């Protein structure tokens, strides 16, 4: 029973937003700063206690395949507070679904789940390990996707 973390604005989309709320996803008011982070951690603790898994995109949004990484503090805050393993994943969605565009390009979006990062690492070590794993996987998946496009 995964619990997605998403920006609150997505809950305003007809049907999608209603389902996100119905299935108890965690909507974050990103402009609220540290207050939003505290609410995110508190809610995630309740969901973990209920047996759910938390799914969060550490950059907080989709990005283009050549954009530099911009990891937000949410994933590291959850990792430190929840004391559970973190399973990172890489994906090539930026090739086929550009940011801020409804149109998509033909192709197959691939999600690659990576080895779990065990709980208990210092925040900085976790952040470096998470980013390195995701970026390495994503770069490879994007390169493979570009080869198929040519």
Range in 42-46, 52-56, 104-108 the model is least confident about: 104-108
Give the model confidence (pLDDT) of 96-121 as tens digits.
Answer: 988 777 778 889 999 999 999 999 99
- The pTM for the full model equals 0.88
Residue where the block lists tokens 């540290």: 34
Looking at residue 148, its pLDDT comes to 87
What are the angstrom distances between the C-alpha of 105 and each of 15, 47, 94, 110?
23, 35, 10, 14
Q: Say yes or no to pLDDT of 66 above 80.
A: yes
């Amino acid at each position: 029973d995964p619990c997605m973390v998403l920006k609150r604005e997505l809950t305003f989309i007809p049907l999608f937003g209603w389902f996100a709320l119905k299935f108890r996803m965690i909507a974050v008011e990103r402009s609220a700063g540290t207050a939003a982070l505290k609410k995110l951690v508190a809610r995630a603790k309740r969901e973990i206690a209920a047996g759910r898994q938390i799914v969060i995109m550490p950059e907080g949004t989709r990005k283009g395949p050549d954009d530099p990484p911009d990891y937000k503090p949410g994933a590291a805050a959850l990792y430190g507070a929840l004391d559970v393993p973190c399973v990172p994943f890489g994906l090539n969605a930026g090739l086929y679904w550009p940011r801020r565009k409804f149109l998509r390009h033909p192709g197959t979006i691939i999600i690659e789940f990576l080895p779990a990062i065990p709980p208990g690492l210092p925040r900085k070590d976790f952040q470096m390990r998470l980013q390195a794993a995701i970026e390495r996987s994503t770069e490879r998946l994007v390169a493979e996707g570009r080869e198929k496009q040519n």
